[in-house]
Structure 1
Amino acid sequence: MSELEHHATTSSDGTPISYFRRGRGPALVVTHGSIATKEQWIPVSEALAEHVTLYVYDRRGRGGTGDAGDYSLAHEVADIAAMREVAGPGAHLLGHSFGALATLAYAREHGLGGGTLLAYEPPLAVQGPVAGDRLAGYRELVDAGDLDAALEYALVNFVRVPAEAIPFVRETPLWGASVPLTPTWVRELAEIDALGSDLAPYAEIDDPTHLIAGTATTSFLYQSAHDLANIIPGAGITDIEGADHFAHLADPRGFTRVVVDALDTAAVVR
């Protein structure tokens, strides 16, 4: 089994970035989603590390990574740039959820220079604002310090998890790990809605791109992936049968096969 190596680097604004390195083979930088840290990717990293060299980092404001006084998607793009510098020329990118939006933004601005972009269920406003007016209610719960209620509110109102499923989600390790991170979601939801519903700018991406979605995921997440696959020239898409937004946790080996197949296909096309 490949060992985890813990390291740190620095973003362009001086923010320290904590990451782990694991595996062998082509470099793959992983950008995790909202209310998560790099720790969420440790289980699947064991399988992925048999095929690629992983660079999985904490996004700013959580884990071992610092933060700054202001925030925008541009900061996330800068952090990815710092990680690709560590990983080396031609490094591939894998982004999950909000992390997928960040990797898409990076690809639009910088290109991948020989790498492949994998975007797993980016949360775009394809069915109307993701948060909209409901963001105010979430912000109030966060500001009041009721982070447990804030997470439930967000899952029901933003991720569109059925209310009757919440008791089951509460029993998973995901709940306890996510609650302390709920404040970081406020600014990310605002950034998502600010992107709007026009996907035409993503047609600028000319690097090999592959979208990933689960067939049992939330409707707007599934649609986001498929709409992007139709917009980005030459993009591929894989549906993971029966999977939701956390296929990398539920089936690490199955998710690894999807990632490896997508990278192999892109290499053939390239």
Structure 2
Amino acid sequence: MSELEHHETTSSDGTPLAYFRRGSGPALVVTHGSIATKEQWIPASEALAEHVTLYVYDRRGRGGSGDAADYSLAQEVADIAAMREVAGPGAHLLGHSFGALATLAYVREHGLGGGTLIAYEPPLAVQGPVAGERLPGYRELVDAGDLDAALEYALVNFVRVPAEAIPFIRETPIWGASVPLTPTWVRELAEIDALGSDLSPYADIHDPTHLIAGTATTSFLYQSAHDLARIIPDAEITDIDGADHFAHLADPQGFARVVVDALDTAAVAR
């Protein structure tokens, strides 16, 4: 098993970005989702490291990375650019959830220059605003410091997890790791809704693109992936049977196989 090498780089606005490097082979930069850190990707990295060199970073505002007073999706794009400089020319991108939106934005602006984009369940507003009028209620819980209640509120109202599933999620390691990160979700939800429901700009993406969705995930996440697969020219999509929004944690080896197959398919098509 390859070891984790911990490093740090700096984004264009001076924000430090902590990341780990692992494995050998073609470079793959991983951009994690909301209320998460790079640590969430350690299980999947064990399997992926047999095929690629992983660069998994903490997105700004969490983990070992810094933050700035101002925030926008454009800053996330700049952070990905900084990580691709570290990873080298032609590095592939893998983004999960909000991280998938950030990678899509990056590719629209910069292109990949030989790499492949893998987007796992980007949360687009395909069934109406993701947060909408419920965002103030979430912000109030965060501002009051009731982060535990904020996480439950967000999972039910934004991710649309059934309320009866919350007690089971509370028993998983995801809950304890996610609660302290709930404040960062406020600004990300605002950015998601600001993107709107028009997906036609994604037709400008001409780099190899592969979408991933779980058949047991929330309906708007499943629809987001499939709508994008129809809009992005020549995009491929893989459904993971029985998986939800956290397939990389529930079955890291199975998820890694999907990623490696996607990269191999794109390489053959070039």
Normalised by the shorter chain, which TM-score bucket?
over 0.9
CA offset digits 1:71-120 (Å, max 9, x no partner) = 00000000000000000000000000000000000000000000000000
Counterpart secondary structure, 2:7: strand
Report the Cα distance in structure 2 between the residues aligned to 1:253 and 1:62, rounded to whole angstroms.
Answer: 26
- Following superposition, the deviation at residue 24 of structure 1 comes to 0.4
1:252 and 2:263 are equivalent in the alignment: no
Deviations 1:237-263 (A, max 9, x none): 000000000000000110011000000
CA distance in 1, matches of 2:160, 2:91: 34
**Separation in structure 2 between the aligned mates of residue 152 and residue 263 of structure 1, nearest angstrom:** 35
Partner of 2:162: 162
Q: Which runs of 4+ in 1 moved over 4 A?
A: none
Deviation at 1:234, TM superposition (A): 0.2
Shift of 1:161: 0.3
Q: State yes or no: 1:140 paired with 2:129.
A: no
Aligned-pair distance for 1:69?
A: 0.5
Which digits, 9 at most, give the CA deviation of each residue in 1:184-210, with x for residues without a partner?
000000000000000000000000000
Q: For the residues of structure 1 that align with 2:236 and 2:138, how far apart are their CA atoms?
A: 35
**Ranges in structure 1 where 5+ consecutive residues have no aligned partner:** none
Looking at structure 1, the residues matched to 150 and 14 of structure 2 have their Cα atoms a distance apart, in angstroms, of 31
- C-alpha distance in structure 1 between counterparts of 2:253 and 2:12, whole Å: 35
Question: How far apart are 1:21 and its partner, in Å?
Answer: 0.0
Correspondence for 1:131: 131
2: CA distance, partners of 1:234 / 1:164: 39
Q: TM-score, normalised by structure 1?
A: 1.00
**Superposed CA offset, 1:28-66 (max 9, x none):** 000000000000001110000000000000000000000
Counterpart Cα distance in 2 of 1:35 and 1:70: 19
Give the gaps of 5 or more residues in structure 2: none
Aligned-residue offset at 1:18: 0.1
Q: Aligned residue pairs: how many?
A: 270
- Counterparts of 1:234 and 1:263 in 2: how far apart (Å)? 14
CA deviation profile, 1:130-173 (whole Å, cap 9, x unmatched): 00000000000000000000000000000000000000000000
1:111 aligns with 2:111: yes
What displacement does 1:5 show?
0.1
The whole-number CA distance in structure 2 between the counterparts of 1:65 and 1:205 is 29
Distance 1:44 1:97 in 2: 16
Q: Counterparts of 1:162 and 1:187 in 2: how far apart (Å)?
A: 24
| Secondary structure, aligned partner of 1:197 | coil
2:27 matches 1:65? no
Paired position in structure 2 for 1:52: 52
2 CA distance for matches of 1:239 and 1:255? 11
- The separation in 2 between residues aligned to 1:43 and 1:222, in whole angstroms, is 23
**How far apart are 1:269 and its partner, in Å?**
0.7
In 1, the alpha carbon distance for the partners of 2:158 and 2:125 equals 11
Cα distance in 1 for partners of 2:157, 2:218 equals 12
Using the TM superposition, give the Cα deviation of residue 229 of structure 1 relative to its aligned residue in structure 2, in angstroms: 0.1
